[in-house]
Amino acid sequence: MNNIVAIVGRPNVGKSTFFNRLIQRREAIVDSVSGVTRDRNYGKSEWNGKEFSVIDTGGYIKGSDDIFEAEIRKQVELAIDEADAIVFLVDVEEGITPMDNEVAKLLRKVTKPVLLVVNKVDNAKREQDAFEFYNLGLGEYVTMSGMSGSGTGEVLDKIVEILPELPEVEEATEELPRFAVVGRPNAGKSSFINALIGEDRFVVTDIAGTTRDAIDTKYNRFGFEFNLVDTAGIRRKAKVKEDLEFYSVMRSVRAIEHSDVCILVIDATRGFEGQDQSIFWLAEKNRKGIVILVNKWDLVEKDTMTTVQYEKKIREEIAPFTDVPILFVSALTKQRLLKALETAVEVYENRKQRIATSKFNDTMLPIIEHNPPPAIKGKYIKIKYCMQLPTPVPQFVFFANLPQYIKDPYKRYVENKLREIYNFEGVPIEIYFRQK
């Protein structure tokens, strides 16, 4: 479970550069998601053994200067609501602007940790100029230069220092699967959950969830038992009405990180839109199981081909990770809801499966021998041994004499073969080639 750090500040203070610096500290565990909105603005960062998620609120501003004020205000309020710590970025070249004062006014009321970072400080003169920012009334600040990277270490030290201690998650004795219901606003998440839980509230116990508001509901019906991480019914504040895109991504980040399987609900009447794709890739990057539910299917005009065409279109959008169950449901008429649950449970089981090393070698090595990686510069690549790693999500390592020469297409070939033989439907898997 990770803390969420939000970066706020007015346009052009260098939020994106700073964000990129944060998430590239450790290439190995960091991968930003292209197109969470138009910008890359969700990523993971790690410093001194502490991992946290970073959200750059900058990519969400649209429109001209006159609406910037309202937009920034909205972002700051959202960050205050959703993040565990806030980094407020200001620009030493510009000094304190009226907009900085506005943001500071909002942040002074906050009980959450706020770190003031003065950017573009790359010489002693600017170090002097930074004193002015004490006037924002936010106490101590840290200086850095996003462009050259100087000072980034100090900023990270400070972030890690102010992050709140996360509560120990009670390990359930039976360790129930956790399913997060995610999707754009109005796709029908609430209706789906209500249809599942129905009027039989007695089978439901609300556990105070992973945050103040994503509620875990223990679900036990029709022979299924799991925790439902519900992001749907969360306080919809009036002020968030307009910026639903940012809002639902922010919500989904938390729900996805805390789940085993994500049930992505999309609105059949609107298609698989950019926002749905963002949430899908967010789940894929976090290596969660995924089930796609096309909801409101009862409202779509059908001929015999519709489901086939619709499904094909979605698979094109989510390529290369196309081994994902897609179900057509209606929360309203309760059509195929049980099937949806069954599928989520199957995906959970797929994600948990472990393949014995000897069996894995017996199966995969003949396939590889039959179709080895292409030779490079007259050098033949031999793969002698393979195994599944003991990680919570499926990862496989293949030991080769020249792993550096194995290219992506071959990696995909191996993954496809693996998926043909073993059932990893709905589960992202990772394949590594290493020196033997």
What is the per-residue pLDDT across 262-291, written as a single tens digit (0 to 9) for each?
999 999 988 898 778 888 988 898 899 999
pLDDT at 251: 65
Beta-ladder partners of 46: 51
The closest alpha carbon to 412, from 362, 371, 359, 355, belongs to 371
Same domain? For 325 and 242 the reply is yes
Same domain? For 132 and 19 the reply is yes
pLDDT at 383: 94
Same domain? For 135 and 244 the reply is no
Q: How far apart are CA 30 and CA 126, in angstroms?
A: 32
Instruction: Report the phi/psi class of residue 208: left, alpha or beta, with left for phi > 0 and alpha for psi in -120 to 50.
Output: beta
In a domain, 81, yes or no: yes
pLDDT at 1: 64
- pLDDT confidence of 26, banded at 50, 70, 90? very low
Residue 205, pLDDT above cutoff 90? no
Report residue 37 as tokens: 């909105």
Same domain? For 369 and 292 the reply is no
- Cβ–Cβ under 8 Å, residues 355 and 423: no
In a domain, 173, yes or no: no
In a domain, 262, yes or no: yes
Same domain? For 83 and 188 the reply is no
pLDDT at 387: 96
pLDDT at 274: 78
Decide which of 124 and 204 is more confident.
124
On whether 120 is known to bind a ligand per the annotation, the reply is yes
Q: DSSP character for 365? A: H
- Cβ–Cβ under 8 Å, residues 344 and 427: no
Other Cβ atoms within 10 Å of 14 Cβ, number: 22
On whether 41 is known to bind a ligand per the annotation, the reply is no
Q: How many domains are there within the chain?
A: 3
CATH number at residue 81: 3.40.50.300
Same domain? For 365 and 345 the reply is no
Q: In what order do the strands lie in the sheet with 85-91?
A: 42-47, 50-56, 3-8, 85-91, 114-119, 141-143
In a domain, 111, yes or no: yes
pLDDT at 183: 84
Instruction: Report the phi/psi class of residue 113: left, alpha or beta, with left for phi > 0 and alpha for psi in -120 to 50.
Output: beta
On whether 368 is known to bind a ligand per the annotation, the reply is no
Residue 388, pLDDT above cutoff 90? yes
On whether 44 is known to bind a ligand per the annotation, the reply is no
Report residue 420 as tokens: 């043909």
Same domain? For 145 and 54 the reply is yes
On whether 186 is known to bind a ligand per the annotation, the reply is yes
Q: How far apart are CA 247 and CA 244, in angstroms?
A: 5
- Cβ–Cβ under 8 Å, residues 168 and 161: no
- The domain of 41 spans 3-162
pLDDT at 12: 79
pLDDT at 331: 84
Q: Which residues contact 183 (CB under 8 A, 6 or more apart)?
A: 189, 248, 264, 265, 266, 267, 276, 279
pLDDT at 286: 87
Kindly report the pTM of this predicted structure. 0.69
- Cβ–Cβ under 8 Å, residues 106 and 73: yes
Report residue 412 as tokens: 């995909």
Residue 95, pLDDT above cutoff 70? yes
On whether 190 is known to bind a ligand per the annotation, the reply is yes
On whether 188 is known to bind a ligand per the annotation, the reply is yes
Same domain? For 196 and 158 the reply is no
pLDDT digits (tens, 9 = 90+) for 133-150: 999 999 999 999 988 888
Average pLDDT over residues 247-259: 74
In a domain, 374, yes or no: yes
- Cβ–Cβ under 8 Å, residues 364 and 386: yes
On whether 354 is known to bind a ligand per the annotation, the reply is no
On whether 129 is known to bind a ligand per the annotation, the reply is no
Same domain? For 422 and 348 the reply is no
On whether 295 is known to bind a ligand per the annotation, the reply is yes
At residue 179, the 3 state secondary structure works out as strand
Length of the chain counted residue by residue:
436
Residue 325, pLDDT above cutoff 90? yes
Quote the Cα angle for 262-265-266, to 5°. Answer: 135
Lowest mean pLDDT among 57-66, 152-161, 294-303: 57-66
Q: DSSP character for 38? A: S
On whether 185 is known to bind a ligand per the annotation, the reply is yes
On whether 200 is known to bind a ligand per the annotation, the reply is no
- pLDDT confidence of 249, banded at 50, 70, 90? low
CATH number at residue 413: 3.30.300.20
Residue 242, pLDDT above cutoff 70? no
Mark which of 111, 137, 162 sits at the end of a domain.
162
Decide which of 275 and 202 is more confident.
275
In a domain, 41, yes or no: yes
Same domain? For 193 and 311 the reply is yes
Mark which of 132, 162, 192 sits at the end of a domain.
162
On whether 3 is known to bind a ligand per the annotation, the reply is no
Residue 203, pLDDT above cutoff 50? no
Max CA separation in the chain (angstroms) = 72
Same domain? For 205 and 341 the reply is yes
Residue 28, pLDDT above cutoff 90? no
On whether 214 is known to bind a ligand per the annotation, the reply is no
On whether 378 is known to bind a ligand per the annotation, the reply is no
Alpha helices in 121-243 (DSSP H): 124-129, 152-162, 189-197
Q: How far apart are CA 333 and CA 192, in angstroms?
A: 10
On whether 210 is known to bind a ligand per the annotation, the reply is no
In a domain, 170, yes or no: no
Average pLDDT over residues 40-58: 79
pLDDT at 140: 92
Q: How far apart are CA 229 and CA 205, in angstroms?
A: 12
Residue 225, pLDDT above cutoff 80? yes
In b/e form, how buried is each residue of 184-204, taking b as 16+ CB within 10 angstroms? bbebbbbbbbebbbeeeeeee
Other Cβ atoms within 10 Å of 394 Cβ, number: 22
What stretch of H or E contains 369?
helix 357-370
Decide which of 427 and 305 is more confident.
427
In a domain, 87, yes or no: yes
Mark which of 352, 386, 403 sits at the end of a domain.
352
Torsion, Cα of 151, 153, 155, 160 (10° steps):
-170
Quote the Cα angle for 313-318-323, to 5°. Answer: 95
Q: How far apart are CA 371 and CA 385, in angstroms?
A: 15
Q: How far apart are CA 293 and CA 82, in angstroms?
A: 26
What stretch of H or E contains 264?
strand 261-267
pLDDT at 231: 64
Lowest mean pLDDT among 243-247, 325-329, 337-341, 423-427: 243-247
Beta-ladder partners of 328: 294
Same domain? For 42 and 68 the reply is yes
